[in-house]
Structure 1
Amino acid sequence: MDRIIEVLSDRQAVIDKALELILQKAEVAIEARGKFTIALSGGSTPKPLYEALATQNLPWEQIHIFWGDERYVPPDHPDSNQKMARQAWLDRVPIPASNIHPMSTTLADPAAAATAHERELKDFFDLSSGEIPEFDLILLGIGDDAHTASLFPHTEALQVSDRLVTVGFKDGQPRLTLTVPVLNHAKCVVFVVTGSSKQPALAQIFAPTGDELTYPARLIRPKGELWWILDQAAGERYVKTDR
C-alpha cells in the first residue's frame, strides 16, 4: 500500500486535486483496457467534484459508474447518493444509461438487494467464484465517527469478508455497502475529507495503532494507491506528504 496524504489550502483545492486524480486514472485505464470503473461516495463533500466532472469532455461510453454505498431509500429520495450524483453530474453528460450501475433499493429486503448487486458486479467484472472486482478508483469520505462507505463502528458489516456487497446499519436504518475486501482490492482509493470536525477521526485513523472496529476507516488498506486529500481545516496536523 502506497499511502499519500496531501493537505491543501481549502475545499476547492481538494476538489481540484481529486478531479485531477480521476482524470489521470481514467486516461490510464481507458488506454490500457478500454474502460474506466469508478465507485462514487455520497454525502455533501463530493458534490462539487461531480459538478466539475460534468464540465469535462470525456469518452463517456468508456466510463462505468458504481457506488461504494447507498442509503436504502427510493432513487428519487433527497437522501439518495444516486440522485445526488445524477443531478450534479450524470444527467448532465452523454453517458450511456447502461454504463450507470446503481445499487437497487426497491426490493422489500435489503439483503436481497445486496445479493442482486453482488450478482451484477460478478457479471460485469466477469468474476469466477471467490474473485473480487478490481475498481480503477474508489472515492471515499469519512464521518466524524471515522466510518467510511456504510461501514459504521461496531457493526456486523465491518467483518463481512465472504461477500462483495452487504447491508450496513446506521441508527437502525439499512444501507447497502461494498465490503472491506472490495474496497481494499481497488487499484486506487481516494479519501476526500474537509472540515475541522474530522480532525479527531483522522487522528485515530492515522495513529500507529488503533481499534479498527471503533474507527472503521483504519480497515481501508488497498493493494494499490491510497490517497488522503484533506483541506487545511481537516488536516492541519498532517502538513507533510507521507508515503
Structure 2
Amino acid sequence: MNRIVEVVADKVALIERSQEIILSRLQAAIESRDRFTIALSGGSTPRPLYEALSSQALPWSKIHIFWGDERYVPATHQDSNQLMARQAWLDKIEIPDENIHPMHTNSANPAQDAQKHEAELQKFFQTKTGEIPVFDLILLGMGDDGHTASLFPHTDALTVSDRLVTVGNKDGQPRLTFTVPLINQARCVLFVVAGANKRPALKQVFAEQADAMNYPSRLIQSQGELFWLLDRAAGAEL
C-alpha cells in the first residue's frame, strides 16, 4: 500500500504540513502539465489552510478549483462548502471565475445536478464516458463516523462505481459527492484529520480487517500518493 501517515504536534503544524504538500504538488503539476487541479473539502479543519493559501503568490490562472462534495443548499447558505472556501480563500485572490468549478445545488433535483457536474468534469478533463478524470490533488477530511467527502456509512453512494458524481445522504439530507473510483484515480489524495474524537474511527480505518461499509474512508486507496496527516490528538494511538 502506498499510504503515508504523518502525525504532527498540533493543528498549526497540521496546516503547515498540508500547505507544504499542496504547494509542492502544485509546482510539479504546473511544470509538467501547465495547470493544477484540486478538489477541496468542507468542514472546519481546512478553513485555516485555505486562509494560509490565500496569502501565497501563486499562478492563479493555472489553478482550477473543484469540490469533492457539497451540501445540497444554495451557494450563499452558511453550510455551503463553496461559500466557506470563497470566504476564506477564493474571494481574496485574483483567480479567473472560469477556474472555479462548483457543484450545482439549485435545481431541486440532486440526481440531475450530479449528472450535470459529471458532464462538466468530462468536458474539462476531456474524458469520454467510462473514463475517469485524474485530479492532481483531492483534499479530504474524515468524520468521527469514518465518512469522507459525502460518503457516509451504509449509504448507496459507497457502492457507485459507474459514475463520477453521485448523491450522498446524511440523515435524510441529500449531498453531492465524488464517487470512490474518481477519488482513487487522483495523483495525490490528502487526508487532513484533527481531534481526539477521530481516534476510534481511525483505528478501524487502519485496521487490517474492518468493514468499509461501516468506515467508508477505508475505501480510499488512491492509485497515486495517499497521505494521512493527523494531529497528535487524532493520531496518538497509531
Normalised to the residue count of structure 2, the TM-score between the two structures is 0.99
Structure 1 counterpart of 2:154: 154
Find the aligned partners of 1:234 and 1:87 in 2 and give their Cα distance: 27
The 3-state SS of whatever aligns with 2:133 is coil
Partner of 2:194: 194
Q: CA deviation at 1:237?
A: 1.5
Structure 1 residues 169-208: Cα deviation after superposition (integer angstroms, max 9, x where no partner) = 0000000000000000000000000000000000000000
1:31 and 1:95 map into 2 onto residues whose CA distance is 19
* Alpha-carbon distance in structure 2 between the residues aligned to 1:104 and 1:32: 30
- Counterpart residue number, 1:241: none
| Aligned equivalent of 2:64 | 64
1: distance between equivalents of 2:170 and 2:130?
28
The alignment partner of 2:95 has SS state of coil
2:219 alignment counterpart = 219
State the superposition RMSD in angstroms. 0.5
Number of the residue aligned with 2:179: 179
Find the counterpart in structure 2 of residue 83 from structure 1: 83
Paired amino acid for 1:136: D
Cα deviation for residue 108 of structure 1 reads 1.4
Tell me the distance in 1 between the aligned counterparts of 2:56 and 2:69: 25
Distance 1:90 1:195 in 2: 26
1:4 is aligned with what amino acid? I
Instruction: Say yes or no: does 1:145 pair with 2:145.
Output: yes
Where 1:157 maps in the other structure, the secondary structure is helix
Structure 1 residue ranges, 4+ long, deviating more than 4 angstroms after superposition: none
Q: What does residue 43 of structure 1 align with?
A: 43
Aligned residue in 2 for 1:203 = 203
Larger RCO, structures 1/2 (Cα 8 Å, 6+ apart): 1
- Number of aligned positions between the proteins: 238
Match runs of 1:88-127 below 5 Å: 88-127=88-127
Amino acid at match of 2:187: K
| In structure 1, distance between residues paired with 2:108 and 2:192 | 32
**In the alignment, which residue of structure 1 is the partner of 2:20?**
20
Separation of aligned partners in 2, 1:130 and 1:171:
31
CA distance in 2, matches of 1:17, 1:108: 39
The whole-number CA distance in structure 2 between the counterparts of 1:125 and 1:27 is 19
What is the distance in 2 between the residues matched to 1:198 and 1:88? 24
Post-superposition Cα deviations, 1:104-154, rounded to whole Å, max 9, x if no partner, equal 001110000000000000000000121001000000000010000000000
Identity score, percent = 65
Q: Which runs of 5+ in 2 are unaligned?
A: none
The answer to whether residue 73 in structure 2 is matched with residue 73 in structure 1 is yes
Shift of 1:13: 0.2
Q: Counterpart amino acid of 1:35?
A: R
1:130 match:
130
